[in-house]
Amino acid sequence: MRIIAFYSPKGGVGKTAAAVNIAYLASQNNCQTLLWDLDPQGASSFYLAGAEPVKGRKLSKLLEGKSPMAKFIHDDVYPGLDFIPAHSSFRNFDIKLEQESGDNQLKKLLAPLSEETSLVVLDCPPTLSRLTEQVLNAADKVYVPLVPTWLSMNSWNQLYDFAKDKKLGAKKLRPFFSMVDRRKNLHRELVERGPELMANCTNVAVPYASVVERMGEEGLPLEKLAPNTPAAAAYRKLWQTIQKDLW
């Protein structure tokens, strides 16, 4: 089982859109996937509202007794895609993690899933907190969406230094560009210079596209809503990059 996270301390940069699209693409690729919405505001749920319930394997049943999250798991929202929605019980997740000792609580919570799950996708809230440390600890790779501005570059450097200082595996961080508007000189320039400016920069730039905003309205991942768009192609490229990173 591999664990990836979509994280940025900045809000509204495309974490949830990427997490949902990647989780869906993975599940379509014969990769049994669990998407966990760790953000109490729960935006992932909007993007999956259009899913037809399918008869699942009842992962939740299998895990009863083994995992405290079992009862929160929605099995097979799409074939091969399980989902843990943001739940009020996770609202104080940070506090719970604070009370427990050790940096690997999140990892321990996920461990019972490993036989049945190939990939866990964590959709993180835009905070720099104890939860962030847990995520950085548990994840094999952390994908960080960046809108191409100098301020974003600055906050990327801060995040990288934070992870490095705390010995949280700065090397796990993988930036990619999000909401790219190629009409803007600065966007084009920064996308081009990404690999020079940032360690481990992926070669992915998700364009700014209204069709991504429509995912929320329609409750569908982009691959179902509009597969023949540049934005859908960018998420497919990101999924290919992730596969290369993980396996």
Chain positions contacting ligand ATP, by CB under 6 A: 11-17, 39, 43, 126, 178-179, 206, 208-209, 212-213, 216, 231
Contact flag: residue 10 with Mg ion (CB under 5 A): no
- Could you tell me the smallest distance in angstroms from the CB atom of residue 158 to ligand ATP? 16
Half-sphere exposure of 115 (CA within 13 A, CB side): 7
Helix (H) or strand (E) holding 226: none
Please report how close the Cβ of residue 158 comes to Mg ion at its closest, in angstroms. Answer: 20
Nearer to Mg ion, 127 or 149 (CB): 127
From 8-16, 87-95, 179-187, 199-207, span contacting Mg ion (CB under 5 A): 8-16
- To the nearest 10°, report the CA torsion of 105, 111, 117, 122: 10
SS3 state at 144: strand
Judged by CB under 5 A, the stretch of 37-45, 60-68, 82-90, 186-194 that binds Mg ion is 37-45
Give the separation between CA 224 and CA 215, rounded to whole angstroms: 9
Which of 104/127 has CB closer to ligand ATP? 127
What is the token pair recorded at 110?
Answer: 């996920």
Asked if 141 interacts with Mg ion (CB under 5 A), we say: no
Torsions phi, psi for 17 (to 5 deg): -60, -45
Give the whole-angstrom CA distance, residue 237 versus residue 217: 24
Of these partners, ligand ATP, Mg ion, none, which one is at the site of residue 98 (CB under 5 to 8 Å by kind)?
A: none
At closest approach, how far in Å is the CB of 62 from Mg ion?
Answer: 29
Q: What is the dihedral of CA 61, 63, 67, 69, to 10 degrees?
A: -40
Q: Which is nearer to ligand ATP, 60 or 132 (CB)?
A: 132
Least distance between Mg ion and beta carbon 216 (Å): 11
Round to whole Å and give the CA distance between 101 and 97. 8
* Interface segment toward Mg ion; rule CB under 5 A; list 7-15, 104-112, 203-211, 226-234: 7-15
22 binds, among ligand ATP, Mg ion, none (CB under 5 to 8 A by kind): none
Q: Which of 6, 8, 62 is CA-nearest to residue 32?
A: 62
Q: Output the smallest distance, CB 6 to ligand ATP, in A.
A: 7
Closest CA relative to residue 93, chosen from 40, 149, 148, 20: 40
Distant-in-sequence, close-in-space partners of 210: CB < 8 Å, separation ≥ 6: none
Q: How far is the CB of 43 from Mg ion (least distance, A)?
A: 5
Member of 5, 9, 13, 16 binding Mg ion (CB under 5 A): 16
Interacting residues with Mg ion (CB under 5 A): 15-16, 43
